[in-house]
Structure 1
Amino acid sequence: MSESALGSVFEISLRILLMLKELFPSKLDEQQVSALDFISVYASDFGLLDENLHGYGDYRFSEYPARKHMVDSALKNLVLDGYVRLSPTPTGYRYSITELGMAVCKQFDNDYAKEYIIATHAVLSKFNGANAKAMLKEINKLTVQSLKEVGHE
């Protein structure tokens, strides 16, 4: 099997666990998870860190819409495997990490995980916790700006 873990549902699952661990006991909806993860990975573009965790590809902002399905799949797998708890609310579902998920996170001891956690805290600080509306507005603004720069120079 030659499938790479990079850019996969598995990779996103690991980042979601780290994110939810840092936010515990808070619960996030899928939109918050997606936006927070995206901005954390590209924190430099949002003026939060010196470097992006995933570099500076010309079309990195086009990743956001494609990630929605992957985040959905990752959350589903994490819930089914017992790493994340699904909580119904009047406005939809929210996700939080379980004890099993916390135990998995204790095994993440590498530079990438540490940098991702730093980025997550920077995003939370800038966007009032995990304000989905504000995060999406900023993602959309930078997406349009990047399309103008890349496609119409």
Structure 2
Amino acid sequence: MRNRVFNSTFENMLRILLLIDTVNEPANVDRLVALDFICIYGKKCKVLDRNLHGDNEFGFSEFTTKREKITEAIKLSVRNCFVDVANTDQGFVYSINDRGKEVVKGLQSPYARAYVVGAKIVSRRFANYVDDGILQYISDRATESKEA
């Protein structure tokens, strides 16, 4: 088995902790997956001025595997007691707790700062969207990029 640093469960967990802390309200997996994708590919999604993971023609294809990876990242954050879980009408929702906030405080890299700036913009932009609406927004941007 190879050691993978990029796009590992641990890296995804750290990003999700940053996102949940920034959104500052409980969110389900679908919402976290969609918002994280837009934070990473903000330019492709026409929300931010750059793509945090760089420009490439395959960005939208990453979305198909993102839910599984983010689900694993959330499980890791729950096992490590960084995130609390509540069962609601919208399914399980996740919120950051004090232990998770301590982890977030320690994330001071340029990447983490850029992600948080993007996450603030993205979370405000989609605050009034239902989860399906955000997913549809991503789907529409993917369709536009194929046509271009």
Does the CA-based 8 Å contact 1:18-1:117 persist in structure 2? yes
The one-letter code sitting in structure 2 at the alignment partner of 1:143 is A
C-alpha offsets along residues 54-86 of structure 1, whole Å, 9 cap, x if unaligned?
Answer: 011111101011111101111111111101111
Q: Give, in whole Å, the separation in 2 of the partners of 1:99 and 1:129.
A: 26
Which residue pairs with 2:121 in the alignment?
122
- The alignment partner of 1:3 has SS state of coil
TM-score by length of 2: 0.92
Does the CA-based 8 Å contact 1:124-1:130 persist in structure 2? no
- The alignment partner of 2:84 has SS state of strand
C-alpha offsets along residues 36-58 of structure 1, whole Å, 9 cap, x if unaligned?
Answer: 00000111122222211001111
Instruction: Report deviation, 1:145.
Output: 2.5
Aligned length: 148
Which residue pairs with 1:63 in the alignment?
62
Which residue pairs with 1:6 in the alignment?
6
Q: Give, in whole Å, the separation in 1 of the partners of 2:124 and 2:104.
A: 22
Does the CA-based 8 Å contact 2:28-2:90 persist in structure 1? no
Structure 1 residues 20 and 84, CA gap change in structure 2 (3 angstroms)? same
Which residue pairs with 2:18 in the alignment?
18
TM-score by length of 1: 0.89
Does the CA-based 8 Å contact 2:83-2:97 persist in structure 1? yes
**Any unmatched runs of 5+ in structure 2?**
none
Instruction: Report deviation, 1:28.
Output: 0.2
- The alignment partner of 2:106 has SS state of coil
The one-letter code sitting in structure 2 at the alignment partner of 1:42 is Y
Following superposition of structure 1 onto structure 2, how do residues 67-86 of structure 1 map, counting pairs within 5 Å?
67-86=66-85
Q: Give, in whole Å, the separation in 1 of the partners of 2:31 and 2:100.
A: 19
Which residue pairs with 1:107 in the alignment?
106
Does the CA-based 8 Å contact 1:36-1:130 persist in structure 2? no
* Runs of 4+ residues deviating >4 angstroms: none
Name the stretch that deviates more: 4-13 or 128-137.
128-137
